[in-house]
A and B are shown apart, each in its own frame.
Chain A
Amino acid sequence: MFTFSESSEKQIEKIMKKYPVKRSAILPLLALAQRQDGYITPEAMVEIGKRIDCSPAYVQSVCSFYTMFYTKPVGKYVIQFCINISCHLLGCDDLLEYTANKLNIKVGETTADNKITLLKEECLAECSAAPVMRLNDTYHTNLTREKIDQILDSLD
């Protein structure tokens, strides 16, 4: 069973008012469900389908198109590491490997304590401050090994 929390419900009310067609709310609702549970369960898709008059298959179809939706559990922190051209020119590959080694996982994996998930990401649009990563909702720019150490060490 999936239920939206009370605070989510309040947001849903606002979200629904934005659009003349319910279906438009699908991305915001998926994002809400993910913020609530960390990832999107099939039950959540069924519930969202009901809210916007769409079949669960439709919800899954849309959900699976977008890479920011996770359908499996992820860590408390998700690192999206940009590997596109501008970051690559400034050595992101090395930093990504460094990060993975430090976390003792492979790219795409989550640490054993379910704390950190490390993902490769395409361009994050902060190219003139490359190398860049996004940790949950926060951008970290001009990365160096030292900076990465600092960031990772500051996570609780």
Chain B
Amino acid sequence: MDKEQVTLTIDGKTVTVPKGMVAVDAAKTVDIDIPVFCYHEKLGPFGCCRMCLVEVEKMPKLATACTLNVSQDMVIKTDTPKVKKGRNGVLEFTLLNHPLDCPVCDKGGECPLQDNTFEHGPDLTRMEYNRAHHDKATPLSPVITIDRERCIACQRCTRYSDIIEKDTALVMLNRGFHNEVGTFNNEPYDTRFSGNVVDICPVGALTNTQYRFKSRNWDLKNAESLCAHCACNCNIVIGTRQNRFMRVQAKSSENSVSNDFVDDGWICDKGRFGYQFLESKNRILDPRENGIGDSRAGVIETAKKVAASFKKIAEEHGPDSVGFLGSPFGTNEELYLYQKLFRLGLGTNNIDHKLYADSPGLPVDHYDMEDVESADLVLTIASDPTEELPILDLRLKKAVSSLGTKLAVLSDQQTLMDCFACHSLRYNVGSDGTVLQSLTDGLGKKGFKKNKGFETETGIESDAFKELIASLKKSTKVCVIYNPEKLTGDSVHILKSFLTALDKNSEGTCGAIPAAPATNALGAMDMGVLPDYYPGGIPVSNAAKIRELWGDSAPVTEGASASELIQKAESGELKALWIYRCNPLVDFPGGAKLEQALKKLDLLVVHDMLETETTRIAKVVLPSNGPGYDEGTTTNIGGRVQFRKRGIVTQNPADWKILGAMLKELDIESDYRDSFEVTSEIASTVPGYSEVNRKNLRKFGHQREKVSNPKVPESKGSSEKAPDKNALRLRVSNYLFAHDKILDASSSLAHHFQTSSIYIHEDDAKSLGLSSGAEVTIKSDWGEIKAEVQVNNRCNPGGALVPYISDEQGVASLLNPDGGPTWVTFKN
């Protein structure tokens, strides 16, 4: 990268900036504001609106500062009479056919057109003709309203669609004065990231339908917070009015400074339009005992009482008669305190938060999301960024199309990233263990040899596989992105050996991003909500270290995992289970049997935000406020810890407060006055988090250090045969807009909801006599669901892909409860 600096003068001020920077940005560094419309730093120079005219010494014409690359000794003036006249003229043209309906425009108060006119524009109009007319406010999509009269044709939105989202779904139609923003054949502009155009439109042409006419912008209170929908943890601004939710915007250069470590100033539509749950009628507001809600019973009092009951059960039946099922959706503080409560307060390691195999830490560097841009090869494994971690999808597209990064996709299903990849390898569902082992071996001395057995088992051609290995070896910076949740059995352990091998055998550097999609999946691991690891990746076997950090009473035997907890409930060994922000009745395998098991418990407590199937059978239900209301930190896939601010104030106590009270109840010192005090405690006890403090969290968050990296467990390996020649191996995939408790029927995103489908390969379709559109019942040993067949080769023959599209679909009921493979057959 060219880092050469140049020195120039802008309005008499001396400025030193990197050569080639555009004058608008250079001026910004010395607080000189050059007005713009079409320029947006993430979209690059375009120069169409002509708002940014400036005078440059030795140039006869005025220049557009947004396209002007500064050079040594340049002299720029932004407030000469010539510039003023130029700007005034441009604004007159811009306003010529603008409807001037500011009083009823949603952009009012935060409108660059208003602001620029106020400062630089004409005070009178010389326009004596009827202004051009268009249909007012028509839907561009179910969530975006377009008012074409207001459009100033800056092309920000269409360039966004082209340059950032890369699908040219929103385009400029027609020519000249008849230019208009539109879609193909007037179809809705309905993409995963469409809402960003609302933020960047410099006028009120593109507005958020949800927010229309709900508030004037100056009446809003804006909180810089984090999105809680996935593990990217994008920076958002929550706008509220009189403590009521109004809208979500990306935190971008338009309203603040974007966090380029995380989201580059963009958010996905789920993050923008998927926040109606904050005011869902299913929110749990009062504690409830034996099905009876009581608004007078204090949350804290109830919680203390239940904590005491747990203590009593633990004393009576032994500490391992109680257990905790946490969730990757809690904040670090909440999860940290819960594990502390169970470990120190109740003496058990019976705590877990997930169903897939994984262990904390990486044998290589933990890359931040930004590293994707400097990597020359990104390898995604079993990851589907578009559906799971949407902002990562944008980041990958940016890296591949403008920064020279190469992408390799290794997956058992087709993804939307494939068309950006130079290696796109699809393995048979369930064969990831073999694939990863061969990759590991291939990097080592043994190398990889063309191999029929490998090809039949994995469905990958040897030559293509070889090429991938060659690319991995010769790249100077490899970033591996994997979704542990979608690896089968314990092949995540093989993946970690692969990382070690990569580190050793590739010519450059490498690192990885564990990309489990849940909001704080990484934080939950780091905080030790695991039966076998303490916070910071300290294994329970390391008794000495644990005693040192946690005291002598800390339990050092391995606890029960999530699935074991369910088994123990079934067998009666487990008497009391505490479930935090998790809905096993829908999300865990087991179906009706699972419900029976939970009903056997003496005490089932659910602490959650929204009513779920599980809260319905709980003995005690406690309200958790959740994102938007409660504050705390979360750790994103890049290991970046950020502070999630509240947008709405509630009377109900925050979870950390409830937990503090419960800890006290169990005689553990706890005097937290705010969530930051918990954060400080985390900094002092959790390896990797020592630098996480208030100061470091400001602005862009802080990438935590590596957590301990214990020895990677050996993979037990797995190879199974289909029980039935007609059986296909099930793979559940993710869908961004799944219809669940968060995106409920009243959601603005309901138009994205899909019907239950199963994707199979045409070979299998032929042998099974199925064709697209057929309604079938899918059966496994554990359950059955209905779905429509789609023959489209999204996975290899032998596999069956079912996207998780709703809670109601019940796909988890099909799954093998012990984590082994699931085979499905069909019934018409």
Contacts and interface: CB of A to CB of B under 8 A. Distances in A.
Contact of A64 (B169, B170, B173, B183): B173
Contacts of B174: 64-65
B419 to A, nearest CB: 9
B175 A57 contact: no
A55 B184 contact: yes
Contact of B184 (A45, A66, A67): A45
Interface string B144-184: 00000000000000000000000111111111000000111
Contacts of B169: 55, 57
Contacts of A45: 184
Interface in A58-73: 58-61, 64-67
B173 A56 contact: no
A42 B170 CA distance: 16
Interface residues of A, number: 14
Interface in B171-206: 171-175, 182-185
A54 interface: yes
A55 B173 contact: no
Contacts of A59: 184
A58 B182 CA distance: 10
B454 to A, nearest CB: 32
Interface in A10-68: 42, 45, 54-61, 64-67
Interface string A136-152: 00000000000000000
B185 A56 contact: yes
Binding site secondary structure of chain A: helix
A54 B173 contact: no
Interface in B241-279: none
B175 A56 contact: no
Contacts of B172: 61
Contacts of A64: 173-175
A71 to B, nearest CB: 10
B170 to A, nearest CB: 7
B685 to A, nearest CB: 52
A42 to B, nearest CB: 5
A60 B168 CA distance: 11
A45 B185 CA distance: 10
A58 B183 CA distance: 9
B168 A58 contact: yes
B215 to A, nearest CB: 33
B176 to A, nearest CB: 9
A55 B185 contact: no
Contacts of A60: 171, 173, 182, 184-185
Contacts of A42: 184-185
B464 to A, nearest CB: 22
A42 B183 CA distance: 12
Contacts of B170: 57
Taking each of A42, A45, A55, A67, which has the highest tally of chain B beta carbons within 10 Å of its own beta carbon? A55
Nearest to A45: B184
A58 B171 contact: yes
Contacts of A56: 184-185
Contacts of B182: 57, 60
A42 B182 CA distance: 14
Nearest to A60: B184
Given A56-B185, A60-B184, A65 B168 contact: no
Contacts of B171: 55, 57-58, 60-61
A116 to B, nearest CB: 25
Contacts of B185: 42, 56, 60
A60 B170 CA distance: 11
Contacts of B183: 57
Contacts of A67: 175
A59 B183 CA distance: 10
A54 B185 CA distance: 15
Contacts of A57: 168-171, 182-184
B800 to A, nearest CB: 28
B113 to A, nearest CB: 24
A56 B175 CA distance: 18
Taking each of B167, B169, B175, B185, which has the highest tally of chain A beta carbons within 10 Å of its own beta carbon? B185
Nearest to B158: A61
A141 to B, nearest CB: 28
A139 B322 CA distance: 92
A100 B626 CA distance: 71
A61 B173 contact: yes
Taking each of B169, B172, B174, B184, which has the highest tally of chain A beta carbons within 10 Å of its own beta carbon? B184
Contacts of B175: 64-67
A57 B181 CA distance: 11
A55 B183 CA distance: 10
Contacts of A61: 168, 171-173
Contacts of B168: 54-55, 57-58, 61
A58 B169 CA distance: 7
Nearest to B161: A57
B76 to A, nearest CB: 34
Nearest to B171: A61
Nearest to B166: A55
B551 to A, nearest CB: 61
A60 B184 CA distance: 6
A79 to B, nearest CB: 22
B140 to A, nearest CB: 12
A58 B172 CA distance: 9
Contacts of A55: 167-169, 171, 184
Nearest to B176: A65
Nearest to A67: B175
A55 B189 CA distance: 13
A60 B183 CA distance: 8
Taking each of A55, A57, A66, A67, which has the highest tally of chain B beta carbons within 10 Å of its own beta carbon? A57
A127 to B, nearest CB: 23
A26 to B, nearest CB: 12
Contacts of B173: 60-61, 64
A65 B182 CA distance: 13
Contacts of B184: 42, 45, 55-57, 59-60
A56 B167 CA distance: 10
A50 to B, nearest CB: 13
Taking each of A45, A61, A65, A66, which has the highest tally of chain B beta carbons within 10 Å of its own beta carbon? A61
A55 B182 CA distance: 13
A65 B171 CA distance: 11
A60 B173 CA distance: 7
A64 B179 CA distance: 9
Contacts of A58: 168, 171
A67 B174 CA distance: 9
Nearest to A61: B171
B493 to A, nearest CB: 40
A55 B174 CA distance: 16
A55 B172 CA distance: 13
Nearest to B175: A65
A122 to B, nearest CB: 12
Interface string A92-119: 0000000000000000000000000000
A57 B170 CA distance: 7
B332 to A, nearest CB: 41
Nearest to B419: A53
A54 B169 CA distance: 10
A54 B167 CA distance: 8
Interface of B: 167-175, 182-185
21 contacts: A42-B185, A45-B184, A55-B167, A55-B169, A55-B171, A56-B184, A56-B185, A57-B168, A57-B170, A57-B184, A58-B171, A59-B184, A60-B171, A60-B185, A61-B168, A61-B171, A61-B172, A61-B173, A64-B173, A65-B174, A65-B175
Closest 6 CB pairs of A and B: A61-B171, A57-B184, A56-B184, A58-B168, A55-B168, A57-B171
Given A42-B184, A60-B185, A61-B173, 15 more contacts: A45-B184, A55-B167, A55-B184, A57-B168, A57-B170, A57-B171, A57-B183, A59-B184, A60-B173, A60-B182, A61-B168, A61-B172, A64-B174, A65-B174, A65-B175
Interface of A: 42, 45, 54-61, 64-67
